Structure 1
């Protein structure tokens, strides 16, 4: 029998993780590569994946959608309890994946919105 709550939580976790990775790819990764002196890698990445330019133009929507999905995942996981013998381990891994996705989102948002103003402020 298929556990609907577990399936819904897994799908929303996967969606949040995927959107967090897209946010990293469009915003944090190019800034990191340019800072490391690999600007040509960014040019190659953008020419290979032109949709990254569109995603980076609408990064506020991407980050907001990711935050909403991750908040939904937090809400779902706080409501779930381990009733079956093997489900305690599953809940533990789901919580770890959720915290990892949240960390990726926070790092991406910091890089996309605060890194440049912070570096300009430190230089002055």
Structure 2
């Protein structure tokens, strides 16, 4: 028999991780590559994956949706307990995946929103 709570929690974790990775790919990775002098890699990436331009235009929505899904995942994991034998290890890995997704989101947001103002401030 399938555990509905476990499936919902896993789906929200995967959704949060997927959106965090999309946020990294659309917004943080191109900025980082250009800052490292690899602008041609960004041009090749955009020509191979044209949907990145559309996603980067709506990065506010992407980051907000990712944060909402991650907050929901935190709420789901806080409510779960390790009642059954063997679920403690599953909860441990779910928490690790959630914190990894949160770290990716924070790194992406810092890169997308603070890297340019910070570099302009340091240049002046």
Class of the TM-score when normalised by the shorter of the 2 chains: over 0.9
Q: TM-score, normalised by structure 1?
A: 0.98
**Unaligned regions of 5+ residues in structure 2, if any?**
none
Matched pairs, number? 124
Q: Which residue number corresponds to residue 83 of structure 2?
A: 83
Alignment of 1:56 with 2:56, yes or no, is: yes
| Structure 2 Cα separation of the partners of residues 17 and 64 of structure 1 | 14
Q: TM-score, normalised by structure 2?
A: 0.98
CA RMSD of aligned residues (A): 0.5
**Unaligned regions of 5+ residues in structure 1, if any?**
none
Deviating above 2 A after TM superposition, structure 1's stretches of 4 or more consecutive aligned residues are: none
Q: Which residue number corresponds to residue 114 of structure 1?
A: 114
Q: CA offsets, 1:41-81, max 9 Å, x none?
A: 10010001000000000000000000000000000000000
